[in-house]
Amino acid sequence: MQPIPSLLIVDDDISAIRVLSKILHGLGQIRFATGGTQALKMIQQMRPDLILLDAEMPDLGGFEVCEAIKADPLLKDVPVIFITSHTEARVEEAGLALGAVDFIGKPVQPAIVTARVKTHLRLKIAIDQLSLLAQTDGLTGLANRRFLDQNIEREWSRARRNQEAFSLLMLDIDFFKRYNDCYGHLQGDECLIAVAHAVKACVQRSTDLVARYGGEEFAVLVPGTGAQGACQLGEEIVQHVRAQNRPHETSDYGRVTVSVGVASLEAGALPHAQSGATGAKGAPVLAQALLAEADRALYQAKHDGRNCSRFVPIQLGL
């Protein structure tokens, strides 16, 4: 079942909002803003599937709003349709050059608005589905390594900018090569899926991300969480996997277990970053550096006998 699309109408004319709301009734969940500044705040919060944007508004014009949307990596793919009484070719060209997907002149024609909105919603849904496939591990259904790296970079930048806590967990199925040798690769895949479900069940917040890092390794990104919360999550994961009681006769523990490494940074521990800065290491290697910190803790867990969780503070010199 597809989620209900969300549409945002942005216009300083209340009567125009009423007209468009009536036309679009039944196509999705409709919200509205009466100014550009208000619109940008709402867009950050709700991330709509489609924006219908008036080109001229008193506080912040539609072109400026569109430019801000397209400059934000998290919002740049949200389709924008300009609704304006200015139908000159140069105005339309300017709007499309900013990244808008369509241009509708006022007074609006209900059938035209409906048809174009339906078309762009279908395209948005199709693109989202393709994007989801590109971000998902085919076996476990978790996020894949590429999506994990992107989120680590984004959340680390946010932590620096807002002086927030940041934690990253790495975990490894203990003696997994022995498991595959003993039970076969098909059962090995079933084991990976079961562990993925166990880890996912321990993560409650929508802002957290569980990913398959590769092979029998997984990662959990928990932004806004310091050492105490992250260590508690690490212990929960160890216990939850152990409680599945999945037989592993060649393991030292007789059942499937995991080792977990926790790396954390407390709120306010970093110097303020300038807008857009990712730190001295730069975005291309940032995810690898942070994952290496969690891997240090994972190594310690393995060294201490596996089937446990260990912690290290993040030390990147950023």
Amino acid found at 85: S
SS3 at position 23: helix
Please give, one letter per residue, the 3-state secondary structure of 172-217: EECCHHHHHHHHCHHHHHHHHHHHHHHHHHHCCCCCCEEEEEECCE
- Rounded to an integer, what distance in angstroms lies between the CA atom of residue 139 and that of residue 159? 31
153, 216, 217, 293: the catalytic one is: 216
- Rounded to an integer, what distance in angstroms lies between the CA atom of residue 129 and that of residue 149? 20
Catalytic residue list contains 216: yes
- Rounded to an integer, what distance in angstroms lies between the CA atom of residue 33 and that of residue 39? 5
Q: Which residue is listed with tokens 């393709």? A: 130
The CA-based dihedral angle spanning residues 275, 53, 29, 26, taken in that order and rounded to the nearest 10 degrees:
-160
Active centre residues (catalytic): 216
